[in-house]
Amino acid sequence: MNYYIKNANIVNEGETISAHLFIKEGIIAKIVREGDRFEPENAQVIDARGKYLIPGVIDEHVHFREPGMTDKADIHSESRAAVAGGVTSYLEMPNTVPQTTTQALLQEKFDLAAENSLANYSFYIGATNDNLDEIVKTDPGKVCGVKLFMGSSTGNMLVDKEEILERLFKESPCLIAAHCEDEEIIKRNTQHYKELAEKHEVLANAAIHPLVRTPEACYKSSSKAVELASKTGARLHIMHISTREELSLFTNNAPLRDKKITAETCPHYLLFDSRDYDRLGFAIKCNPAVKSAEDKISLWQAVREGRIDTIGSDHAPHLRSEKFTDSYFTAKSGFPSIQHNLPLMVSQFVQKGMKMAELVTLMCHNPAILYRIDRRGFIREGYFADLVLVDVNVNKLITNEEVCYKCGWTPYDGFAVQAQVTHTFVNGNLVYENGLFHEESRGQRLSFTQIPSRNLPECP
């Protein structure tokens, strides 16, 4: 079906304009500006008056748990949550069961997504201490990147052999997306707090998490990754930056297309700090840990300055029974968030006097540029019609009752937002509309250009 979106405030490439947009056969066929004469062909009309029309969010950092952990999440359930939250494309992590560390297992995930995903998709191949031969076979035109755990997390895919790390940075055909925490520091701190808890000198609650997974652990690992990337020329994207110390490793003095070393943070590091553990407990336990109020302030400043390049969700569902245990040492790290990140971030940017266009750059444009995604992430004629309508004239509370996550809960239960996704288009198909899903279509496998494309200029 063709669609004609009328009277929209289109947010794209640093500006907001009032215009209409025609979707034909899955493609953005025409942006109709004031004064243009245009009659749409056989199109369903959607009046977007008062709403923002933005490119679909590209979430570069999700854990959908399939295969192997489908009791807590799967590709179908979490892609439904994605489109309800304005995410039209996602890049999913390899710490599933089995771990996605071979080309054959990678293809199995692509096959699952082709059958079940409402959003567009790609998958990282995971690095281990012994699968470099599989890594070098990866086609950078068909796979988003290599995921490297330089600190253990869910699934424990730690790569800790020095010679393997250096070869990986030299030989990887794709961008390396790294989880950076120093394993020895974390092990030492974990043992220390276990001993204190056994002696009843501390409570084994969520508040000790940033004392175990410290800023020192993050900085030591991140600086090592930056050193390796600088030495070898590898493309390195350090994920979920959580500390002010790490921010010194990144610059804002080059266009994104020319950067070899880049940074991501996540909404929870911009919304929570260590004071929230008393109120929310294990609900916000995640790796790396949510840290101090000073860290949160510094991260917001880095977002404003351009030292943070992308905002990804690190959507990581767990069952309530796994999260809300009686001890810090058994409670799982990670939580679901993909459905709510866009409304939360829109609300935050509005409250802080920041422009909607700045958020679109971080969540839509920059992931497309960084990962060299073909014809997505922008509102341009000839691009895939991955589009989202956002109403910013609402006041509502997020509740567990509204979540689409298979695990059935969110740490944002009770949070007030001033934005809501009303329509989501994936490849020109209207897949989400005011709380209703249209599941007749499926998302597409993303494709990537191997060199920075001149069709992806920097955004103002």
Q: What is the pLDDT of residues 241-285, one digit of tens each?
A: 999 999 999 988 889 999 999 999 999 999 999 999 999 999 999
Question: Sign of the C-alpha dihedral, residues 414, 420, 426, 430?
Answer: positive
When the pLDDT of each residue in the chain is averaged and rounded to a whole number, the result is: 95
Q: Residues with Cβ < 8 Å from 397, sequence gap 6 or more?
A: 414, 415, 416, 417
Could you tell me the pTM of the whole model?
0.96
The vertex-178 CA angle with 446 and 101, nearest 5°, equals 65
Selection from 275, 254, 262 nearest residue 229 by Cα: 262
Selection from 419, 358, 417, 349 nearest residue 391 by Cα: 419
Question: Around Cβ 252, how many Cβ atoms within 10 Å?
Answer: 13
The predicted pLDDT at position 460 comes to 42
Residue 244: phi and psi, rounded to 5, are -70, -30
Q: What would the mean pLDDT of 50-71 be, rounded to a whole number?
A: 98
pLDDT digits (tens, 9 = 90+) for 282-315: 999 999 999 999 999 999 999 999 999 999 999 9
Q: What would the mean pLDDT of 3-7 be, rounded to a whole number?
A: 97
The vertex-319 CA angle with 409 and 69, nearest 5°, equals 125
Strands 176-179 and 236-238: parallel
Distance CA 7, CA 53 (A): 10
* SS3 sequence of 283-342: HHCCCCCCCCHHHHHHHHHHHHHCCCCEECCCECCCCHHHHCCCCCCCCCCCCCCCCCHH
Task: Tell me the CATH number for domain 56-370.
Answer: 3.20.20.140
Selection from 333, 335, 336 nearest residue 190 by Cα: 333
| CA–CA distances in Å: residue 160 to residues 49, 246, 263, 372, 429 | 54, 20, 21, 29, 44
pLDDT band per the 50, 70, 90 thresholds, residue 456 = very low
Domain locations along the chain:
2-53+377-394+417-437, 56-370
2-53+377-394+417-437: in CATH 2.60.120.10: no
H-state helical runs in 202-285: 209-212, 215-232, 267-271, 277-280
User: Hey, what are 215's tokens?
Assistant: 């800023």
Question: Which H or E run contains 162?
Answer: helix 162-171
Selection from 1, 85, 5 nearest residue 42 by Cα: 1
